[in-house]
Structure 1
């Protein structure tokens, strides 16, 4: 597959996050019909990267991989590369984050998804280091593996995309369901509280991301149940964030 003779088009955007990537050697395109048309013309997958300006791991991956000329050349030759600011396009972020969850993976940003030329999600993850590290495969390995799968097992990859898309359609269909009860809130609260990191705050292990809805729920539960453990979990999160590099 020949290298994309294009260029990085993010300098024409207004999003501060996209402009941060306007000088990457990656031939980034904004989300839109032109990117999909280019993928169809080249008959290759789309590499979709979603992040936002205040995302620490987005900046780490950008520095390690998107500013790396060798990795950028690999990306340009194998994929149509699309950058999305999740604060500008929460609709796109929601679709592909839901797809990532459907693949059984923990969400987070940067969200890295590989799509077929129609935009259907086939495979994804979050942050990948440039080389294998911390039990994670290297980004170079991921790029080459996805391209090989597309070339040698394309029907299976396309079928996965169709299955995921059908699942997303089911999730978005109206479903009245039953009303939540106080017992439901108690069960969810107890389950989430058990997942709190007692040493570093937040939910689960590294890498982790502040999840505002969960901790807003904890704050409400503290008052509803008069249980100080939920307030202590919120305080631990905020103290850990203030002691680190996140202040917004």
Structure 2
């Protein structure tokens, strides 16, 4: 049986921009009430849910994305993939047959990224994976010692993905040489000439999720970013940070 499910969510960039800047959530419904599509902001991510009128639904976490035609096309393509996933669920009534891969591609959050339903037991959910920006290139400014941690201040950073960072303070645990914490100056790509919100967001990545500490021109300045990033890491990890010899 073919179910009449949506193949898009935002019809244009204006609608997405309105949601991004002014709304907490937005939704659309089938003319006959058979399905309900819902997008809401949840901390540092979006949650997209597509629900059939009998209560069965699929959902996925989506990374906030810049308002560009290319990104909107990716998002709407993901919404179509979600409809195909719900179609399989409705036809089979078997969650195991629903594809588990991220529907939104690079817009999908790394944690969590699985489909969910109301009756899915929590012990079957995948454990969250560490989430840090993926750096493809950067210039090392200086290194620091933090007791059990080593720290590196980076600038001219190039990241894979939508969020672009100009500076970073990255923290590794010495015993494992494993990334443990990142503070980043994230470019404010939504800024307009008449918007004085600031050039960069100050973002923290403690390993799971992302914390936005506000937007300011200060975080675009390397020396100011360095001072604040070292303070944050020192407080969060309870360490004394000194410049490495």
TM-score normalised according to structure 1 size: 0.32
More strand by share: 2
* Structure with greater helix share of residues: 1
